[in-house]
């Protein structure tokens, strides 16, 4: 077994690998960029080596620097994690030539499976079901349109070296095929240095289901069941679960056996994933093979009890698998939510900056450790409170995983865990995740990869989530205000005759974006064990377990336990629960009457300016001063977290001034253009 390994990655996956290595008694070396000098993975490792500047092309993607770090620290092996150089066959080959063990498949396997065109041809020879398409590089956008017409729309345009949702577009007509080809080629060239693009038929109502495989150097190969990854937004996975609620055992077995056949065809040695698209008739077709550890590997670990990182290390060290296919368990159900630094209320634009508060839910499952038989909660992360989310890398803050007795139990545990997950300072997609988990179609297991686009066609907003108990949110606001007044009444030094008085009658004031107010009378009476809140003639019993300063508050509502997030913001309270949010101010009746007389201040008119919707790099300005622009035309391009975001004109206008310069680093709401 190795004495020291280097982890050629960052963030949560670097921390994840370090945990297993530590449990196995293996010393670890972290590598980091200048942006990551204070990162969590650097602190967790036994040693750390600086690679270079923040951009990944100058640090994490430079093979020479990784190899030099291995030699300087005496690391015998390198674990690439996922992303960066994890599926780079040339890097794997060079590492092996330098006498360093690559903890992953051999470079020939990576080369065969990493090229999507070659892998489809190999899969067909191995008698794996493949999808119709044009599996040769396409030279031009015009040629792409002709091929798409021949296959029949819709088609999927994919970069050969793509991954993680990058270099992929779905086209439903000639215009989209032409534009999608150019976008895929540009993204692939910038992200992977390989601009080859191919086209295949897009299966409508598809499910994305993948099979985890594990092979050793002695010819043994098994599959570790499947993962359901159909809940996606713009081809990026959002929620994953194992097993799939859609497959029957016959289809599950057939997919697993084909995945193993493909792995054996390339003498696969390590953990890998064979991805399939599955139609509503349970027909399945090979998509690609990921020759690395997947982001969503924890759900497989939960249901099998295996540590996949440990298995990768043992296989790389030459050990045999200690189990056969018949020995692999499938216990309970596991779900993973990707917690990303993005604002779901602003079209999921990236959100970077400092984590002012980071309080994950209580965990009783840990990576690289066996968990309780009845399941629980696990959080894989590479961040900490007070740390920075940089703009140079992907947007993942953490992976939240729950393991339950069955699917309903795993969903219930996940909803409670999301309610307890506190992130402040940056925006996160937690409200959106909570809304997805509460959606009736998700709960029923009735979804495809188009689920999010179909159910949220206008995007996501707070109004898209209705709480199943509206009085619950109102009662929490009122009860929280009563607690605050009780706390204020205990302060010493109050003027005689002006002490804080504890009232029972209040008015909850709600206001919408147009300034329309709702006033809801409420009565709050105290007892020894709870507050009794009366709304619209209905009395509810509210009891709190946590302190006023805590954001994630536990308690009981009408005898049922809950966890909700409650914050004092100005004169009001922001309440969040199960994806729904409410901002309420609680006044005395006299205060409410006076507040009703206050004029409403409308938000400023922003139709004359183009603001940066996120922090990022301004990589292009497509217009000039004095230029007339039509609605829908491209104005500027901002790059953040490895993704290009194009800003379009929402109306016909004339550019009065170009305020920001190409190459500038922009903050949220910074002015880019002014219009006449």
- Is the confidence at residue 249, as pLDDT, over 70? yes
pLDDT category at 283 given cuts 50, 70, 90 is confident
Beta bridge partners of 671: 611
HSE, CB side, 13 Å, CA atoms: give it for residue 119: 27
C-alpha to C-alpha distance for 293 and 665, rounded to whole angstroms:
33
Considering only CA atoms, which of 235, 225, 222 is closest in space to residue 287?
A: 235
The pLDDT, as a whole number, for residue 165 is 66
* Mean pLDDT of the 640-645 span: 73
Q: What is the DSSP string of 189-251?
A: HHHHS---EEEEEPPSS-EEEEEEEEE-TTS-EEEEEEEEEEEEETTEEEEEEES-SS--HHH
C-alpha angle 126/129/133, rounded to 5°? 105
Three-state secondary structure call for residue 303? helix
pLDDT digits (tens, 9 = 90+) for 561-610: 999 999 999 889 999 999 888 999 999 999 999 989 888 887 777 888 99
Of the segments 249-263, 339-353, 522-536, which one has the largest average pLDDT value? 249-263
| pLDDT tier, 164 (very low <50, low <70, confident <90, very high otherwise) | low
Nearest 5°: CA angle at 659, between 655 and 661?
Answer: 115
557, containing H or E segment: strand 552-557
631 pLDDT above the threshold of 90? no
Could you tell me the end-to-end alpha-carbon distance of the chain, in angstroms, rounded to an integer?
A: 69
Q: Above 90 in pLDDT, residue 394? A: no
Q: Do residues 403 and 384 make contact, with C-beta atoms less than 8 angstroms apart?
A: no
Enumerate residues 6+ apart whose C-beta is below 8 A from 601. none
Structural domains of the chain, ranges and CATH numbers in brackets: 4-103 (3.40.50.20), 106-131+206-331 (3.30.470.20), 133-201 (3.30.1490.20), 339-448 (3.30.470.20), 470-596 (3.30.700.30), 609-675 (2.40.50.100)
Please report the pLDDT score of residue 382 as a whole number: 96
CA 289 – CA 268 distance, rounded (Å): 11
Is pLDDT above 70 for 352? Answer: yes
Q: In the structure encoding, which two tokens stand for residue 279, read together?
A: 């139609």
Specify the DSSP element, H or E, that contains 525: strand 517-526
Mean pLDDT across the chain:
92
Residue that wins the pLDDT comparison between 182 and 335: 335
Q: Which of 210, 275, 288, 296 is catalytic?
A: 288
pLDDT at residue 325, rounded to an integer: 97
* DSSP symbols for 464-507: G---S-HHHHHHHHHHHHHHHHHHHHT-S-PPTT------SEEE
Q: Flag whether pLDDT at 554 surpasses 70.
A: yes
What pLDDT band is residue 281 in, cutting at 50, 70 and 90?
confident
pLDDT class of 505 with cuts at 50, 70, 90 = very high
Q: For residues 317 and 218, is the Cβ–Cβ distance under 8 A?
A: no
Higher pLDDT, 205 or 482: 482
The residue to which tokens 């937004």 are assigned: 233
Locate 317 and state its tokens: 């060290």
Q: Exposed, middle or buried by CB within 10 Å (0-12, 13-18, 19+), for 493?
A: exposed
* Tokens at 293, concatenated: 């550890």
Structural tokens at position 291:
């020759």
The lowest-confidence range among 328-332, 409-413, 474-478, 494-498 is 494-498
Nearest alpha-carbon partner for 113 in 297, 265, 317: 265
Report whether pLDDT(373) > 80. no
What's the Cα-to-Cα distance from 327 to each of 259, 306, 514, rounded to whole Å?
A: 18, 11, 62
- For 108-120, what is the mean pLDDT? 86
Q: Is 339 helix (H, G, I), strand (E, B) or coil?
A: strand
Q: Taking a C-beta distance cutoff of 8 angstroms, is the pair 44, 30 a contact?
A: yes
Which of 74, 4, 61 is closest to 33 using CA atoms?
61
- Cα–Cα distance between 292 and 308 in angstroms, integer? 11
Query: Are the C-beta atoms of 401 and 333 separated by less than 8 Å?
Result: no
What H or E segment, with its residue span, contains residue 130?
Answer: none
Quick check: 21 and 28 in contact, CB under 8 A? yes
pLDDT exceeds 70 at position 2: yes
* Per-residue confidence (pLDDT) for residue 642, from 0 to 100: 64
Distance, in Å, from the CA atom of 377 to the CA atom of 410, rounded to the nearest integer, reads 9
Task: Answer yes or no: is pLDDT of 369 > 80.
Answer: no
Q: How confident is the model at residue 268 (pLDDT cuts 50, 70, 90)?
A: very high
Rounded to whole angstroms, how far apart are CA atoms 268 and 210? 17
Q: Report pLDDT for 599.
A: 87
Average pLDDT over residues 106-130: 89
Lowest mean pLDDT among 162-166, 530-534, 670-674: 162-166
Radius of gyration for the alpha carbons in the chain, expressed in angstroms and rounded: 27
Identify the helix (H) or strand (E) that includes residue 636: strand 634-640
**How confident is the model over 305-328, as a mean pLDDT?**
97
Q: What is the pLDDT of residues 50-105, one digit of tens each?
A: 999 999 999 999 999 999 999 999 999 999 999 999 999 999 999 999 999 999 99
Query: What is the predicted pLDDT for the residue at 418?
Result: 97
Strands 653-658 and 628-629: antiparallel
Q: Is the peptide bond before 353 cis (omega within 30 degrees of 0)?
A: no
Looking at per-residue pLDDT, the higher value among 460 and 539 belongs to: 539
> Taking Cα atoms as reference points, which of 59, 66, 80, 102 lies closest to residue 9?
80
The structure tokens listed for 116 are 């999507």
Kind plus residue range of the DSSP H or E element containing 312: helix 308-316
- Is 98 known to be catalytic? no
pLDDT of residue 116: 75
DSSP 345: G
């Amino acid at each position: 077994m190795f004495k020291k390994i280097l982890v050629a990655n960052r963030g949560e996956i670097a921390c994840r690998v370090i945990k297993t290595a530590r449990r196995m008694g293996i010393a670890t070396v972290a590598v980091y960029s200048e942006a990551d000098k204070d990162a969590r993975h650097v602190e967790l490792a036994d040693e750390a080596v600086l690679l270079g500047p923040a951009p990944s092309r100058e640090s994490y993607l430079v093979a020479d620097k990784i190899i030099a770090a291995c030699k300087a620290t005496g690391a015998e092996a390198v674990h690439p994690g996922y992303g960066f150089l994890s599926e780079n066959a040339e890097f794997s080959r060079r590492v092996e030539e330098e006498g360093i063990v690559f903890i992953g498949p051999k470079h020939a396997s990576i080369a065969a499976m990493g090229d999507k065109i070659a892998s489809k041809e190999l899969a067909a020879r191995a008698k794996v079901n493949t999808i119709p398409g044009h599996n040769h590089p396409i030279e031009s956008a015009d040629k792409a349109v002709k091929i798409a017409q021949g296959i029949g729309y819709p088609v999927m345009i994919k970069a050969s070296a793509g991954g993680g949702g990058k270099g992929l577009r779905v086209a439903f007509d000639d215009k989209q095929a032409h534009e999608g080809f150019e976008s895929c080629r540009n993204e692939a060239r910038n992200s992977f240095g390989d601009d080859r693009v191919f086209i295949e038929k897009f299966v409508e109502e598809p499910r994305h289901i993948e099979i985890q495989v594990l092979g050793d150097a002695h010819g043994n190969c098994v599959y570790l069941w499947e993962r359901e990854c159909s809940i996606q937004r713009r081809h990026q996975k959002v929620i994953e679960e194992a097993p799939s609620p859609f497959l029957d055992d016959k289809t599950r077995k057939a997919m697993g056996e084909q995945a193993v056949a493909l792995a054996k065809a390339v003498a696969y040695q390590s953990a890998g994933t064979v991805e399939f698209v599955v139609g509503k008739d349970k027909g399945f077709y090979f998509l690609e093979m990921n020759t690395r550890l997947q982001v969503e590997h924890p759900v497989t670990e939960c249901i099998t009890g295996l540590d996949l990182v440990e298995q990768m290390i043992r296989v790389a060290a030459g050990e045999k698998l200690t189990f056969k296919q018949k020995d692999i368990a499938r216990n309970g159900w596991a779900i993973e939510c990707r917690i990303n630094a993005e604002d779901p209320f602003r079209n999921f634009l990236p959100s970077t900056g400092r984590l002012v508060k980071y309080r994950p839910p209580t965990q009783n499952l840990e990576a690289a450790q066996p968990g309780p038989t009845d399941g629980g909660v696990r959080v894989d992360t590479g961040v900490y409170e007070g740390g920075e989310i940089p703009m140079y890398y992907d947007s993942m803050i953490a992976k939240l995983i729950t393991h339950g007795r069955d699917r309903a139990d795993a969903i219930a545990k996940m909803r409670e865990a999301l309610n307890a997950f506190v992130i402040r300072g940056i925006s996160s997609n937690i409200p959106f995740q909570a809304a997805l988990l509460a959606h009736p179609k998700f709960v029923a297991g009735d979804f495809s990869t188009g689920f999010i686009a179909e159910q949220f066609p206008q995007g996501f907003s707070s109004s898209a989530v209705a709480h199943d108990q509206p009085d619950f949110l109102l009662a929490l606001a009122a009860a929280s205000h009563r607690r605050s007044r009780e706390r204020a009444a205990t302060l010493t030094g109050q003027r005689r005759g002006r002490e804080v008085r504890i009232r029972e009658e209040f008015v909850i004031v709600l206001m919408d974006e147009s300034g329309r107010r709702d006033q809801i009378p409420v009565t709050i009476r105290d007892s020894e064990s709870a507050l009794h809140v009366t709304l619209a003639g209905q009395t509810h019993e509210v009891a709190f377990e946590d302190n006023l300063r805590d954001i994630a508050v536990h308690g009981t509502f009408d005898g049922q336990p809950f966890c909700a997030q409650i914050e004092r913001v100005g004169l009001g309270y922001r309440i969040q629960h199960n994806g729904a949010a409410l901002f309420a101010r609680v006044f005395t009746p006299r205060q409410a009457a006076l507040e009703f007389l206050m004029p409403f201040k409308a938000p400023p008119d922003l139709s004359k300016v183009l603001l940066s919707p996120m922090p990022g790099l301004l990589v292009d300005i497509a217009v000039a001063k004095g230029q007339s622009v039509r609605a829908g035309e491209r104005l500027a391009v901002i790059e953040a977290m490895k993704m290009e975001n194009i800003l379009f004109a929402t109306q016909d206008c004339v550019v009065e001034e170009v305020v920001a310069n190409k190459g500038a680093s922009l903050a949220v709401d910074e002015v880019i253009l002014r219009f006449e």
